Structure 1
């Protein structure tokens, strides 16, 4: 029996994501290719791994028995890739960065341009999502995080702290009561997150006990909530360093000033990789003033 590691990787992705289509997106393959990988793996094994229906791909009993060992194999393969990457000394190749929506969409494009001009042989992949990339599984080479990484196998570097504040557009404030205390917020339209608790927790620590049901406008896409605040829908949390440069934005209740820690992280296996070290050092310097590249 000859089994392809690529087919096992595809099996693992289908299990992880629950459908051939979602696995194809994750692996960068077409859905027919994913289906073909599963068919070939089942043929090599001599039994079915999934039953497929409208609900997606459901594991058979035998398929379930193989999930754990497939995960272990993918972990071993990722370890191999990390160690091999750490041995490379060429100043060329691809670096995959992970960042949340604010940094990935608004700040990093302006920051990373200078590095790419200095090192044209290095290509940058940018993974933009609010969920933390798994550096242990090589989801990214370097992650920009707004919390302290705690995994033992990561090398983390604290860059600084980012101040948040509550803001509203001047047009909104002109049509609503003045704010002097926290209780005045009860009479205003609040903009915030739906299921993501990160900003809510930051404001709670600063003394503002927010709950999602208090937000008249809720969205877990940070760019959408940012634009809603700038459009005058209500009062929302913004990075102070960004909001300062946006016309018409006024900070309310300025004594309320929660902060988020800014960290860079990579896996310990690749910390000696020259191109990863170059990008880490560049980002560490540029992110000391992260809002300099912020669009107005």
Structure 2
């Protein structure tokens, strides 16, 4: 196939690349922080510039055309090159001003980061800190964040990771809920109680069963991807939640619902791209978070 020789906008190329990788305009728009109509215009502009159709638009999905498939690897190479340029440029910066993006779960961001960032402000008052709250793992290599606080060890060798600490999660509930339904005397009593669960409660069934707590999805009357909302629901007395010990200790209305429950270990890792460790502002924030959380 002969391609049309033309210049095109990198924003259009990035729009195509992310749309192809995410599988839909809506997901790609969220990933790029754009509106869906803007993203759609960028993809259409690239198609017009190249003189080819990159996607077949069906009612349910976007499908790459043959031309789109053939071009995708080339655009991926361009994306990797652009990322390497951005990382190298960031690594050469020697100022303690500027932007640093930190990715963390909303529970970590809400309950742990504010006092940590308050102390950081005294060290570097000119920094602009962006906090990305999501349970989805941010892609550091594509610069979705500069630093990530994760609850699992990264496997990518291009990332610098430091293990900070282990915490434990327990079954906890509001005293008002346990006053109403009764405090469990045996593990079997928990199967008759309501639970507040994460986005995919079925993933909790195995770890709970291995600790003698046998539940089904029907026990999870309230499910949310938001850790802060999960905490609010438990505090309201709507059921039992699995929360870090520090959170339980912070709220007097909460108590350990089943003291014999074997705690669930929670690892905390601080992660950044290796080359970003040469940047003073990234290093300052990384080391500050390491000291404060660790």
Query: How high is the TM-score relative to the length of structure 1?
Result: 0.87
Q: Which runs of 5+ in 2 are unaligned?
A: 1-5
For the residues of structure 2 that align with 1:229 and 1:155, how far apart are their CA atoms? Answer: 36
How far does the alpha carbon of each residue in 1:86-142 deviate from its partner, in whole angstroms, 9 at most, with x for none?
121111111111111211233223321221343122111111110111112211110
Sort the Cα spacing of 1:266 and 1:199 in 2 relative to 1 into closer, same or farther, 3 A. farther
Per the alignment, in what secondary structure is the counterpart of residue 126 of structure 1?
strand
Q: Is the 8 A contact 1:192 1:212 kept in 2?
A: no
Q: Which runs of 5+ in 1 are unaligned?
A: 289-296
How far does the alpha carbon of each residue in 1:124-166 deviate from its partner, in whole angstroms, 9 at most, with x for none?
1111110111112211110001112221111111111111111
For the residues of structure 2 that align with 1:58 and 1:105, how far apart are their CA atoms? Answer: 39
Sort the Cα spacing of 1:55 and 1:282 in 2 relative to 1 into closer, same or farther, 3 A. same
Corresponding residue to 1:147 among 126, 132, 152? 152
For the residues of structure 2 that align with 1:58 and 1:119, how far apart are their CA atoms? Answer: 47
Aligned length: 288
1:268 aligns with 2:274: yes
Sort the Cα spacing of 1:163 and 1:227 in 2 relative to 1 into closer, same or farther, 3 A. same
Q: Is the 8 A contact 1:205 1:258 kept in 2?
A: no
CA RMSD of aligned residues (A): 2.3
Sort the Cα spacing of 1:48 and 1:193 in 2 relative to 1 into closer, same or farther, 3 A. same
Sort the Cα spacing of 1:200 and 1:136 in 2 relative to 1 into closer, same or farther, 3 A. farther
Per the alignment, in what secondary structure is the counterpart of residue 184 of structure 2?
coil
Sort the Cα spacing of 1:24 and 1:252 in 2 relative to 1 into closer, same or farther, 3 A. closer
Partner of 2:3: none
Sort the Cα spacing of 1:73 and 1:205 in 2 relative to 1 into closer, same or farther, 3 A. farther
